[in-house]
Structure 1
Amino acid sequence: MKWIKSSIAKKLWFTITAAIIITILYSYFLSYFFYEKMYVNNVETSLIEEGQRLASDYEGGPLTEELKEKIEWYGSKSELEIFIVSNPRELSACLPFEIDYEALISGKEREELLKGNPVQKIGYEERFDRDIMAVVIPLLDQARLEGIIYLYLPLAKISEVTTDFAYLWLIAALLFLVIAIFFGTVLVKRLTKPLLEMKRAAEHVSNGDYSIQVLNHSTDEIGQLANAFNHMAASIQREDERRKEFLANISHELRTPISYVKGYSEALISGIVKEDCERYLQLIHREAGRMERLVGDLLDLSQLDSEEFRLEKMPISLSQVIEDSLQKFWPVLKEKNVKLHYMLDPDIIIYGDEGRFEQVIQNIMDNSIRYTEKGKITLTLAKVKEGCLIEIIDTGSGIPREDIPKIKQRFYRVNKARTRKDGGTGLGLAIVEKIVSLHGGKLLITSKLGEGTTVRITLPMLEI
């Protein structure tokens, strides 16, 4: 049976063929049984009705020659063998061979005849040396058995009818088998075709070709599987593109500061730069800070994705955390001539991780400051129906509409140019969303290109 395990098409063929054969055999035996049973019952009923109809001409008393001749004439015209005797022991005189009456009608059957009940007999009759179906109709005069009418039909004639039925059924079964094989072939091909396509597509995906798609025109489970495969391949392709873009971003972000650090340090060591050494050291320090921030973001994402990671939650005054976080931005705000207005509700207490929320404010403010030139940033903290709301609105360059749904994806960057001026890693908002989610909150970003961006964070409050 190894060949069956090698292919789902063979399994389907084996299952369909077995089901068809079992159905045909079961239907044949069931229908043959019922057909024969119904036919035999019908013949038996006909014998009784015919015998009773003949017996209805008997009016009592000794049997007349006229009645005998009438019944014998009827028997000669009928397909049945019909005999009438005035004394059951004379039955042998009506047959073309010697017969013993006691072998045809037993004492028990005689008792039934005396009660006026017809007697049915079916099976092999030794005296006739054949299988028969017989009915014995009593001719009673009050309580005396004056005679009987004996009707029988050889079972060979019944077998001929059932044999004809078997031949017709066999022809119909063969026709059904041909039709079933034809439609079974169509069904198996239709079922296995998308599976074979998915197998070939999976091989393409395993070789790095994520653009492959499975053609699908059905809505059943296999069609849904094909759609899921296409969605998976498209997702892998998008993730692979983001990975490649992320690696390009990371390599650029690391290579640039490393180049600065190496170049400035070599200039200082070789003595090429003898004046303004402090400025070069500041540049080296700044580039080292950029590398530190990038590595820190990567470590943060790794920790936040870890199942073992746990927030260090405690009751914190959110307004105080925000105010402390903003202190470090005043120098750069002044340098870029960006105004900052904030309104904080001091009564809002949340159950959260203070360090992680400082990171949330820092990442959002970094983005707002980076993309705002001589504008304004407004930060508010207020109570709302869902708990509390942190809202940060800037008047910066804004985000294109098509980029807004993707802006929170990790490694995604609106500006693909990776300029020195706004060369973020594309990880900041992904970290923010993860931290907010771990605190049971929601992050919503809206923006209009050229007008600015609004970031809303909704968090549950700690009830006191």
Structure 2
Amino acid sequence: MTEFSDSLFKKLWLTVTTTILVTVLYSFLLSYIFYEKLYVDIVEESLIEEGYRLAGDYTGGPLTDELKDRVQWYNEKSESEVFLVSNPKELSACLPYAIDYETLIGKEERDQLLKGEPVIKSGFEERFGRKILAVAIPLLDNSRLEGIVYLYVPLAKISELTVDFSFLWLAGGVAFIIIAAFLGFKMLHKLTRPLAAMKEAAEKVSEGDYSVRVGIQSKDEIGQLAKAFNHMSESIQKEDEKKREFLADVSHELRTPLSYIKGYSEALEADMIKEPSEQKKYLKLINRESGRMVKLVSDLLDLSRLDADEYQLVKTPFPLAQLIEDFIAKYGPALNEKKISLKLDLDPEVIINGDEGRVEQIFQNIIDNSICYTESGGTISIKLSQHSYGTMVEIRDTGIGIPEEDISKLTDRFYRVNKARSRSDGGTGLGLAIVDKLVKLHDGKMEISSEPGKGTTIKLYFPSVHI
């Protein structure tokens, strides 16, 4: 695995952990602010309700000693400080602080009390030397302020509660961060493990080991990426095997004619062959093998261009029957030499859109095989007709036929049913591979059927042009 300091795993883990940490701290700050504010609001509301309950015992007129004693008794039982005064100035006598009317209850607040509204004071009170939350409830008699029920609590008590809350919150938050970081570590390690495996596998592939595969453990995007990597590695391995096999086949195919040419030419150069007839025979063999090499190189170039999609077709509409008639005329001498009869059944109305030169190359490779593998006195039939696909060309011979298990391999490069015979006849084993690719470039398809001893039938299907 890559060093932790440079790994994607580290970056993801730090990102997740930092996000969790920021979220927890932000949540704590919001919770602390809201908790304190809500708690202060609750205490404030409680003091107001408490003050109004006490004020409910006032029935008017000057404040009585009985009411003062009752409030004093309540003060001793209550958690808040409660006082009942007939004049705000009397508050200084009830508290251990020098205080006067102007500092505790101002003019605006007195006006508010005269309206029957409670006065709420929160914050640091210099005369008390502490933060307080205080409520003053007016006792009115016909719009006359006869007294005040004054309640307050030190905010220090509230802060103590919020400190406890904060401590618990932070302790829980730290525990959550540790657990989340640990679980995130495990989860991200599991998620990034296939990526690390793919990195190691990619390095092996780059070094030429195409057999490496990545273990797929999930069906998510990473699992799909691993599956795609395995498919790519498998495809590269297959292509590499094909390339090695192809190079081996090419080397083998070239080695045979080159060895013949070298041996025959050395024999002629050393005057080992005295008879003119034998010399002519050897020269003919040299010419045959050199022609075979030319055909092999030409076919290899065609296949290379087809594989690289560099084969540019120049398509034009043309009557296929005319092309077949003109093309097959070239095979007159070869057919006569082997006494092979030719039967044509061509529909002159069939027109296809294709490259005439490449279509002729298709027929040439097929007819070459038909003539090569049809014994003397046999027959080759070519039928051209309209078909639901568009156009069908059926080429049938009465040759030696092909075993059923070999038919599916006929379009493989250098594949021969009878290797010895193919070489003696000059075949390269590439003809049908080229035919298959050219037919597909014309949006067509090819079907091959055969029976040993009875012959072979090749059907070509092309889209037709309707005029």
User: How would you bin the TM-score normalised by the shorter chain?
Assistant: 0.7 to 0.9
Alpha carbons 2:439, 2:446 under 8 Å: kept: no
Q: Verify: 1:356 aligned to 2:358, yes or no.
A: yes
Match of 2:301 among 281, 293, 299: 299
CA distance in structure 1 between the aligned counterparts of 2:374 and 2:165, rounded to whole angstroms: 93
Q: Verify: 1:397 aligned to 2:388, yes or no.
A: no
CA distance in structure 1 between the aligned counterparts of 2:56 and 2:456, rounded to whole angstroms: 109
Give 1:131's aligned residue: 131
Give 1:279's aligned residue: 281
Kindly report the root-mean-square deviation, in angstroms, between the aligned alpha carbons of the 2 structures: 3.1
Alpha carbons 2:54, 2:71 under 8 Å: kept: yes
Q: Partner amino acid for 2:392? A: L
Q: Given the superposition, is the C-alpha separation of residues 421 and 437 from structure 1 closer, same or farther in structure 2, using an over 3 Å criterion? A: closer
CA distance in structure 1 between the aligned counterparts of 2:373 and 2:83, rounded to whole angstroms: 118
Matched ranges for 1:378-417 at <5 A:
379-392=382-395, 396-400=401-405, 404=408, 411=413, 413=415
Matched ranges for 1:56-455 at <5 A:
56-273=56-273, 274=275, 275-305=277-307, 310-328=312-330, 342-366=344-368, 379-392=382-395, 396-400=401-405, 404=408, 411=413, 413=415, 418-421=419-422, 425=428, 427-439=430-442, 441-445=443-447, 455=458
Instruction: Identify the range of structure 1 (441-450 vs 107-116) with the bigger mean alpha-carbon deviation.
Output: 441-450
What is the CA-CA distance between 1:157 and the residue it aligns to?
0.8
SS, match of residue 139 in structure 2: strand
SS, match of residue 231 in structure 1: helix
CA distance in structure 2 between the aligned counterparts of 1:249 and 1:114, rounded to whole angstroms: 113
CA distance in structure 2 between the aligned counterparts of 1:412 and 1:117, rounded to whole angstroms: 107
Alpha carbons 2:71, 2:82 under 8 Å: kept: yes
Alpha carbons 1:121, 1:134 under 8 Å: kept: yes
SS, match of residue 347 in structure 1: coil
SS, match of residue 151 in structure 1: strand
Q: Partner amino acid for 2:167? A: Y
Q: Given the superposition, is the C-alpha separation of residues 188 and 260 from structure 1 closer, same or farther in structure 2, using an over 3 Å criterion? A: same
Instruction: Provide the identity percentage.
Output: 56
CA distance in structure 2 between the aligned counterparts of 1:432 and 1:454, rounded to whole angstroms: 15
What is the CA-CA distance between 1:454 and the residue it aligns to?
6.0
SS, match of residue 422 in structure 2: coil
What is the CA-CA distance between 1:26 and the residue it aligns to?
1.5
Q: Given the superposition, is the C-alpha separation of residues 397 and 75 from structure 1 closer, same or farther in structure 2, using an over 3 Å criterion? A: same
Alpha carbons 2:211, 2:233 under 8 Å: kept: yes
CA distance in structure 2 between the aligned counterparts of 1:335 and 1:66, rounded to whole angstroms: 147
CA distance in structure 1 between the aligned counterparts of 2:149 and 2:262, rounded to whole angstroms: 127
What is the CA-CA distance between 1:234 and the residue it aligns to?
0.9
CA distance in structure 1 between the aligned counterparts of 2:347 and 2:353, rounded to whole angstroms: 16
Deviation string 1:85-142 (CA, Å, 9 cap, x unpaired) is: 1222322222222212222222222232222222222111112111111222222223
What is the CA-CA distance between 1:435 and the residue it aligns to?
3.0
Alpha carbons 2:87, 2:146 under 8 Å: kept: yes
SS, match of residue 102 in structure 2: helix
Q: Given the superposition, is the C-alpha separation of residues 103 and 353 from structure 1 closer, same or farther in structure 2, using an over 3 Å criterion? A: same
What is the CA-CA distance between 1:444 and the residue it aligns to?
4.5
What is the CA-CA distance between 1:183 and the residue it aligns to?
1.0
Q: Given the superposition, is the C-alpha separation of residues 299 and 62 from structure 1 closer, same or farther in structure 2, using an over 3 Å criterion? A: same
Instruction: Identify the range of structure 1 (106-115 vs 369-378) with the bigger mean alpha-carbon deviation.
Output: 369-378
Alpha carbons 2:436, 2:446 under 8 Å: kept: no
Unaligned runs of 5+ in 2: none
What is the CA-CA distance between 1:296 and the residue it aligns to?
0.8
TM-score computed with the length of structure 1 as normaliser: 0.87
Deviation string 1:260-317 (CA, Å, 9 cap, x unpaired) is: 2222233333333312444333322222222111111222233345566532222221
Give 2:29's aligned residue: 29
- The number of residue pairs the alignment matches comes to 457
Q: Partner amino acid for 2:434? A: I
Alpha carbons 1:400, 1:449 under 8 Å: kept: no
TM-score computed with the length of structure 2 as normaliser: 0.86
CA distance in structure 2 between the aligned counterparts of 1:420 and 1:193, rounded to whole angstroms: 56
What is the CA-CA distance between 1:366 and the residue it aligns to?
4.5
CA distance in structure 2 between the aligned counterparts of 1:61 and 1:430, rounded to whole angstroms: 120
What is the CA-CA distance between 1:356 and the residue it aligns to?
0.9
Alpha carbons 1:242, 1:412 under 8 Å: kept: no
Alpha carbons 2:445, 2:462 under 8 Å: kept: no
CA distance in structure 1 between the aligned counterparts of 2:457 and 2:110, rounded to whole angstroms: 109
Instruction: Identify the range of structure 1 (379-388 vs 6-15) with the bigger mean alpha-carbon deviation.
Output: 379-388
SS, match of residue 421 in structure 1: helix
Q: Verify: 1:459 aligned to 2:462, yes or no.
A: yes
What is the CA-CA distance between 1:239 and the residue it aligns to?
0.7
Q: Given the superposition, is the C-alpha separation of residues 103 and 218 from structure 1 closer, same or farther in structure 2, using an over 3 Å criterion? A: same
Q: Given the superposition, is the C-alpha separation of residues 249 and 128 from structure 1 closer, same or farther in structure 2, using an over 3 Å criterion? A: same
CA distance in structure 2 between the aligned counterparts of 1:8 and 1:347, rounded to whole angstroms: 67
Q: Given the superposition, is the C-alpha separation of residues 334 and 92 from structure 1 closer, same or farther in structure 2, using an over 3 Å criterion? A: farther
Q: Partner amino acid for 1:90? A: E
